[in-house]
Amino acid sequence: MTGRRGRTVVVTGLGAVSPFGTGVKAFWQGITAGACAIRPITLIETEGFRSRIAAEVPGAVGGSARRARADRLALTAASEALDDARLSAAERRDAALMVGAVGGGMLEVEAWYWKRWRGAREHPDAGRERPGAGRERPDAARATLPTSHADVLSWRLGLEGPRETVVAACSSGAASIAMAADLIADGVVPRALAGGADALTRICYMGFNALRLLDPEPCRPFDRERRGMSLGEGAAFLVLEDAESARARGATLYAELAGHAMTTDAFHVTSPHPEGHGMIGAMREALASAGAAPADVAYVNAHGTGTAQNDRIEARALRAVFGEGGVLVSSTKSMIGHTMAAAGSLEALATVLAMTHAVVPPTVHLTSPDPDVPFDCVPGVARAASLPAAMSNSFGFGGQNVTLLFRAC
């Protein structure tokens, strides 16, 4: 079957802000300890909603308070990745920038909108803004869009290569990595910064509550008693590079991004295809693009949201591709929740780290295995394991499927 297309793509830099704090180290320590970062929400009001917990990024997120939270998360993670890759200013200029985003600056715009709406109700005569109030709006109005992260990162980090913001629901952070890999493999750019960022928003929180998809307790992916997702927030970026160029400049090579694929269920706005056709297609195409066989893959970092439906269909898809018990599986969302546009990139990061450290992070809260999930989901405790190749899956809301396949360098 088809082997690799074009140039070999490797990972040479890592950066993250997660519910375990700032930095890749804090993230890795948290997930290998099997800690749970899902707690009562502090950022927004939760009165009257069924599920009132999420995995928030703790403490102050670096950067100017005038910037949207999601922009700051993105900037912090992206800066770490670029510093980690030790790129010069000239090397940054040529780098592409692909950002997965969904909420953008919605958290701040919501605050402004809520205040304006409630203010007008309480004081109907105060409909006219006070002088100077318009100045609050420029930042709020303009930072709303998901595209804001890419503009902030390019400006602050000196990136002048191809720039895109992809919105693919829960797969955004993985789609950006796949898109960047294509540009490098095709020789358009020698390197790219790719990842995703999302801050908790009222819209996301209320929406998933309304859909009854959130567990009032921390989520339990793959557990027989699972009752839904938990929300999270964060950002992660990878520096991807043409292998030859990376070796020539003495970069550290974490892993090779050997293959990837993107498919669309085109089935229903919220439900995946019941037999996981799109999921299966993405996994098989990713394997084919890497010239790899299912038996080559030792570990799959699952989408694993903890909803009854996702986990069941995902397990079915995994079984179709790998056979029962054919691979270790775990869900990082059990610890950091579903970080939306950051999920694909935080989980790609977890996958790369698992390979470099030869440790598989666990699925926590997994106490009663589900017979419909015929895999070792690494319950509770991280597992030492040599991983010559590992896969990261993001199966987004409404059928946007992205699979990334990494191979040890």
Partner 1 sequence: MEPKEVKDELAALLVSRLKFDPARAAEVTFDTPLPKGVDGSIGLDSLDFIELGIAIEERFGIVMDESQDLAEHFASVATLCRFIAERATQR
Partner 2 sequence: MLKRVVVTGVGVVAAGLVGGGQTLTRWLAQVPSPPSDHAVDDTLLAALMDGVDARRASRVSRFTVAATRLSLADAGLDDAGAAGFVLGTEHGDLHSAIEFAEGFLRGGPSGVSALAFPNTVMNTMASAATIACAAHGPALTLNVRTVGGELAVARAAHTIASGRLDVALAGGVDVRNPTVDATLAELGDAEMRGEGATVLVLESLDHARARGASPCGEILGAAWRGLPARPNGVGHRAESRAIAAALAEAGLAGQAITWAYSSSSGDGPRDAWERALLVRALGSEITVASLARRFGQHAGLGALRVAAAAWSAGSGRLIDPPVDVAPGPGLVHGIARGGTHVALVVGPAPDGVAR
Instruction: Closer to partner 1 by CB, 225 or 244: give it.
Output: 225
Q: Are 24 and 30 in contact (CB under 8 A)?
A: no
DSSP structural state of residue 342: G
Determine, following the binding rule CB under 8 A, whether residue 210 of this chain makes contact with partner 1: yes
Quote the distance between the C-alpha of residue 185 and its chain's center. Answer: 22
> What residue type is assigned to position 19 of the chain?
P
Determine, following the binding rule CB under 8 A, whether residue 147 of this chain makes contact with partner 2: yes
Return the half-sphere exposure (C-beta side, CA atoms, 13 A cut-off) of residue 131.
0
Among 5, 93, 212, 224, binds partner 1 (CB under 8 A): 212
Stretch that binds partner 2, among 114-122, 226-234, 239-247, 358-366 (CB under 8 A): 114-122
Instruction: Closer to partner 1 by CB, 42 or 270: give it.
Output: 270
234-242 vs 389-396, strand pairing mode? unpaired
Instruction: Name the token pair of 54.
Output: 């999420």
d(CA 228, CA 213): 5
Among 158, 326, 369, 380, binds partner 2 (CB under 8 A): 158
Rg (CA), the chain: 20
State the catalytic residues: 170, 303, 338
Q: Which does 48 bind (CB under 5 to 8 A by kind): partner 1, partner 2, none?
A: partner 2
Among 266, 293, 358, 381, binds partner 2 (CB under 8 A): 266
Q: Which does 271 bind (CB under 5 to 8 A by kind): partner 1, partner 2, none?
A: partner 1
d(CA 32, CA 29): 5
Determine, following the binding rule CB under 8 A, whether residue 152 of this chain makes contact with partner 2: yes
Among 259, 276, 278, 361, binds partner 2 (CB under 8 A): 278
Instruction: Name the token pair of 202.
Output: 């009222």
**Contacts with partner 1, 260-299, as mask; x by CB under 8 A:** --------xxxx----------------------------
**Alpha carbon distances (Å) from 142 to 99, 106, 151:** 17, 10, 11
Q: How far is the CB of 408 from partner 1 (least distance, A)?
A: 42
Q: How far is the CB of 240 from partner 2 (least distance, A)?
A: 16
Q: How far is the CB of 55 from partner 2 (least distance, A)?
A: 20
DSSP structural state of residue 363: B
**Alpha carbon distances (Å) from 188 to 88, 237, 256, 333, 403:** 19, 20, 18, 34, 22
Closest to 236 measured CA to CA, from 93, 347, 105, 359: 347
Positive or negative CA dihedral for 309, 272, 167, 49? negative
Q: How far is the CB of 217 from partner 2 (least distance, A)?
A: 19
Size of the site for partner 1 (CB under 8 A): 7
Among 3, 119, 134, 323, binds partner 2 (CB under 8 A): 134
Q: How far is the CB of 278 from partner 1 (least distance, A)?
A: 18
Q: How far is the CB of 211 from partner 1 (least distance, A)?
A: 6
* Strand (E) or helix (H) holding 273: none
Instruction: Closer to partner 1 by CB, 241 or 314: give it.
Output: 314
Instruction: Closer to partner 1 by CB, 100 or 272: give it.
Output: 272
Quote the distance between the C-alpha of residue 331 and its chain's center. Answer: 12
Residues 6+ apart with CB under 8 A from 182: none
Q: Which of residues 282-341 bind partner 2 (CB under 8 A)?
A: none
- The binding site for partner 1 (CB under 8 A) comprises 210-212, 268-271
